[in-house]
Structure 1
C-alpha cells in the first residue's frame, strides 16, 4: 500500500493529505505552491468553506477510483476548497475517525461501511444524508437491502457509493484447466472440496489461497460456506437470532476442513495482497474473496477471461453478499457539521448517477443505484452488476460489520482468533459465535 502527498498534477485549490510519515513530521495538510515563495497572493485559494473528507483508500487502484470521484467534484464546485485525506500510517482508519469525533472536531464527511457499522457513529451523524436521499429520490432506484443498510432509527444516515459482493470465488484459468476442473459446474462447498483435491493431485499449485492474518477473512469464508450449504434463511437466522446452530456447526466443520487441507502452511501470516499475488502468479488455483479483488488482479495485468475467472461461491448462486461503502455527514456536540453547504454538495455528488458510474468502473463494486447504464463497464463489472440487480437475496456481510453491531463483530473476531485459527475447534467456535448473536 502507498500513501499520498503533494501531486503537481492536482488542482492548486485542492489540499491533499496523507496520514503517514509526512503527518508525523508536520507536513500533512500543507498545500504545494509550485515553488512560489515570494508571498504573492494573486493566486490565492478561492473563498469558501473547506470540505474535509476522510477515506481509507490508499492502494493505487482504489485510490484511482476515489481520485476520479473527487476530481469531478472539484470541477463542478470551483468555489469549494477541498481537503481529501487518504488515511495511512500507524493510526487505523476507524481509530482516526473515532478520535476526531470524540474530540468534537468532525471532518465534513468520511467514508464508512453501512449497516451495523453506522451504530458506531450514530451519536455523531446528522440528517444531511437523509435530505439527499429525498432530494435525489434514491429510494426509487435502490434495492430494499441498500435502503435498510443506510437507515438507522428511521433516518437515512449514509449515502451509498459502491456495493461489493463478498461471496465470490476467483480462480486461475491456467491452473483449473491443467487440473481439469470446471468452476462453473461447482454447485456446493462439497464439490468445491472435490475440485481442491483434484488441483492438489494433478498440479503443483496451492489449491486455495486464503489470508489468515487477521480473522475477518476466515469469518467471511465461514459465512460463505454457511450460505452455500444451508442458504440465506439459515444465515439470517444465525446473525439476527442466534439460531441455526446445526447449520453453523456444519459450516464450521467444512471451513475447518478447507483450512486444514488446502491452504499453504504460511496462511496464518498471509495478508490479502499476498493471497491476490499468489493467484495472479498462478501459484494458487482458487481464492475465495470479495469482488474488490478484481481491482488488484487488473493492476497485476491479469486479464479477465484469459488469465482469471470468477463465479459465485459454490452454493450461493443468486445470492449477493453485500459489503457497502458509503459517505456520512458527522456533526459536533452542538449538532453542526463543519461545512454544511460544502458537505451537502459532496453528498449530492456521491449520490449522482454519473459519479457512481465513474467510481465503480475502477473498483470491484457496482453502483448501488439500479438506473445506471453499464456501457462504460468491462465484462466482469457488467456481469457483476447484472447479478446484483437480479439477485434473489442480498444478505449483509458479517465479516465487514454490516450484519451485526460493532461490539458483536469484535467478539466474533476474538472467537475466531482464539478458537479457529489452527487447530480448528468447531464446538467451541460454534458456541462462541452463537452466544454472540444470541445475546445481541
Structure 2
C-alpha cells in the first residue's frame, strides 16, 4: 500500500488539502473500496461529451477482455476537481484504485512518489513510443517513469460559431484574424441581432483563465503566453488581455453566465441563443450527439481563435496508474488497451478529441476530427494548456485559477489579477 512517507514527501497534498478538503465526501460518491484484485478505474466523464465515449471504450475493453472483472466509476465533472479529490483521498487512505483518468505533464506532480512505471510492461511491450506523437510521450514521462498512457488530445484554441447568427450579422468568420476583429464582430452581433454574442460560463474560475490565455496569445503572440508560463510574463500584456476579457464579460455574455459551466454555455449555441463560444474541441462531442439536430457545416462551424492560426493549444487526456497497484496484471492489460488504435478511434470519435497515435487513417475519424488530427500532426506551435494541467505545476495552476476567482469574476481588478497571475507562475 501507499506509504505515509511517500504522501508526506512526494504527493502534493498542499495542492488540495487547503482548498478542496470540504468536497472530499462528495467527490468520493460512487467509489468503492478495492478489497479484491479486480480492475477498478475512476474517471470524470459523467455527461456531455464524455459519457458516451467512456461507455464505448469500456464496452470495447470488456468485449476483448471478458476474463477481467472490471469496475468503472464516474466521479463528478467540472475540470476534474471532484475526481482529483477522490483520487487524493483514496491514495491518502492507502486504498489505491487500479487506474484513473487524468492529465499528464506537470499535473503528475500532485501524485509524485506514488506512481507506477509502465515503461517496460506497456510502452515498450506495445511499441507505443514509436506509435505515439513524440510530444505525448514526453508528457507521459515524469521523474524518469512513464505512469500514464494517453487516450486523446483536445485543441484548446477553437472558436465555434452558429452559422445562422453570423449570417444574420453579415460576418465572414474566415475574415476574423485578430482579437480586434473578434471584438468588432461581437459588437455587431450585439447591435444587429438578438443573439448572445459570446457564450461563456463563469461558474468555475478555470473557464475565465482559459479564455484569458487565448486572448493573451491573440493580442500579444504565443511567445507572450510561453514567457508567462515560464515565469517571465509581461505585466502590460497580461493586463491588456485581462481588460479585453473584462470587456467581453461585461458586454457580450448571458445574464446567467455566473451560474453556468461550459456545457450549459455550449448548449446556448445549439439552442440558437448564442453566436459563438471559445473552448476545446470536446464541444464537438456535444454538437454531434444524437440528442441534437446540430450539423457541422450547416448549423455550426469553427475557426482557430482569431490571432492563433497555425497553433495547436495542446491538451491531453490520459489514464494514470498508482503504485502498489491492487490489480497489476489487469491494470497493465487496461493500459495496453487504451493505447491501441481501436481504443483511440472509438473513444475520440465520440469524445470530440483526436488520437495520439500517428498511424491513424484520417478517414477513420469524422470530418471535423480528421481536420483536427491533421493539425495535431502538422501545426507550427504546440503550447501546453494552462487551465488543464500541462503548462505549470498543480499549485501554480490552482493559484492562477485563484487569481481569476478572487479578482476577476465581478468585481474586476485587472491590476490585482495581473499581480496574482504573475506571482503564481514565478514561485
TM-score relative to the length of structure 2 = 0.88
Aligned residue number for residue 313 of structure 2: 321
Measured after TM superposition, the shift of residue 166 of structure 1 is 1.1
Q: What is the CA–CA distance in structure 1 between the aligned matches of 2:125 and 2:77, rounded to whole Å?
A: 37
Q: Does 1:293 align with 2:303?
A: no
Q: Is the 8 A contact 2:31 2:73 kept in 1?
A: no
Unaligned runs of 5+ in 2: 1-23
Measured after TM superposition, the shift of residue 280 of structure 1 is 0.6
Measured after TM superposition, the shift of residue 28 of structure 1 is 7.3
Q: Is the 8 A contact 2:177 2:307 kept in 1?
A: yes
Q: How many aligned residue pairs are there? A: 397
Q: Does 1:355 align with 2:343?
A: yes
Q: What is the CA–CA distance in structure 2 between the aligned matches of 1:237 and 1:263, rounded to whole Å?
A: 29
Q: Is the 8 A contact 2:99 2:322 kept in 1?
A: yes
Q: Is the 8 A contact 2:266 2:283 kept in 1?
A: yes
Q: Is the 8 A contact 2:153 2:314 kept in 1?
A: yes
Q: What is the CA–CA distance in structure 1 between the aligned matches of 2:183 and 2:199, rounded to whole Å?
A: 13
Measured after TM superposition, the shift of residue 231 of structure 1 is 2.2
Aligned residue number for residue 103 of structure 1: 93
Measured after TM superposition, the shift of residue 61 of structure 1 is 4.3
2:303 to 286, 311, 323: 311
Post-superposition CA distance 1:183-223 (Å, at most 9, x none) = 11111111000110111121011110110111111000000
Post-superposition CA distance 1:158-183 (Å, at most 9, x none) = 10001011111110010000001111
Aligned counterparts, 1:373-388, within 5 A = 373-388=361-376
The alignment partner of 1:159 has SS state of strand
TM-score relative to the length of structure 1 = 0.85
The alignment partner of 1:341 has SS state of helix
Q: What is the CA–CA distance in structure 2 between the aligned matches of 1:306 and 1:377, rounded to whole Å?
A: 19
Q: What is the CA–CA distance in structure 1 between the aligned matches of 2:65 and 2:129, rounded to whole Å?
A: 26
Measured after TM superposition, the shift of residue 423 of structure 1 is 3.0
Measured after TM superposition, the shift of residue 131 of structure 1 is 3.9
Q: Does 1:280 align with 2:270?
A: yes
Q: What is the CA–CA distance in structure 2 between the aligned matches of 1:343 and 1:180, rounded to whole Å?
A: 54
Q: Does 1:399 align with 2:387?
A: yes
Give the greater-gyration-radius structure (CA).
1
Measured after TM superposition, the shift of residue 117 of structure 1 is 1.4
Aligned counterparts, 1:171-210, within 5 A = 171-210=161-200
Q: What is the CA–CA distance in structure 2 between the aligned matches of 1:342 and 1:417, rounded to whole Å?
A: 41
The alignment partner of 1:233 has SS state of helix
The alignment partner of 1:301 has SS state of coil
Q: Is the 8 A contact 1:242 1:435 kept in 2?
A: no
Measured after TM superposition, the shift of residue 74 of structure 1 is 1.5
Q: Does 1:112 align with 2:102?
A: yes
Measured after TM superposition, the shift of residue 92 of structure 1 is 1.7
Aligned residue number for residue 157 of structure 2: 167
Q: Does 1:71 align with 2:59?
A: yes
Q: What is the CA–CA distance in structure 1 between the aligned matches of 2:31 and 2:94, rounded to whole Å?
A: 21
The alignment partner of 1:211 has SS state of coil
1:340 to 303, 313, 328: 328
4+ residue runs over 6 A deviation: 27-30
User: Taking structure 1 as reference, are residues 257 and 198 closer, same or farther at Cα in structure 2, changes over 3 Å only?
Assistant: same
